[in-house]
Amino acid sequence: MRLVFLGPPGAGKGTQATVQAEKRALHYIATGDELRKAIAAGTPLGEQAKAYTDSGQLVPDDLIIELFKDLLGKPGSEGGALFDGFPRTLPQAEALDRMLEEGGKTLDAVFYFDVIDEAVVHRLSGRRVCRRCGATYHVVYKAPRQEGVCDKCGGELYQRDDDLPETVRNRLRVYQAQTAALLDYYRDRGLLVRIDAGKAIDDVGQMLDDAIDALGDHSDHTGGPAAGQERL
């Protein structure tokens, strides 16, 4: 089984992706994780990517595509996979299709985690991070025992610039502009499934379980969606 999880920052797709990958023994591939690994290892591709991330720019499509070519060509990647945050643009989607087709494979479904902007702003702007150990908290959902102080090490908690409300809104505008054509691409192919990511974590997880289980029951993708998600 090969699945793609798409969604804006703060939609919760990363949390659900790791759960589903472990539950279904799928190779979990997250764009951000793989870029950080390449940068930390100092690979030629990582060095090129670092130049963009250090200046606050998005890593261009050609580097992301090359990264995934390497990943999909490694031993152990022949089986099922769950792509978290990749592809993010139409050229990346077309490149992924070509890479899979070369191995005689296709995608089974693309799950879009749909959530209203203000819910994302609320989730991300409430996040606080420890300056000392990096532990994360939330002023509503995971508050520290003492305001502004890390439970683990006693370090100072702060709000990252990326989590400021207006910065989050700008990130959402960029994401939506970048992915509009991508959603149309997968919708036209009958692969796009909307997940109501505004619901509680457990409810979203149940929706995904039902939808992914239905893929196994209807290999031609004709199965109807479960409650809370819809074929687009």
Active site residues: 13, 88, 127, 160, 171
Q: How far is CA 156 from CA 55, 61, 66, 152, 206, in A?
A: 26, 37, 39, 11, 36
How many whole angstroms from its chain centre is CA 61? 16
Say how many C-beta atoms besides its own lie within 10 A of residue 98's C-beta. 11
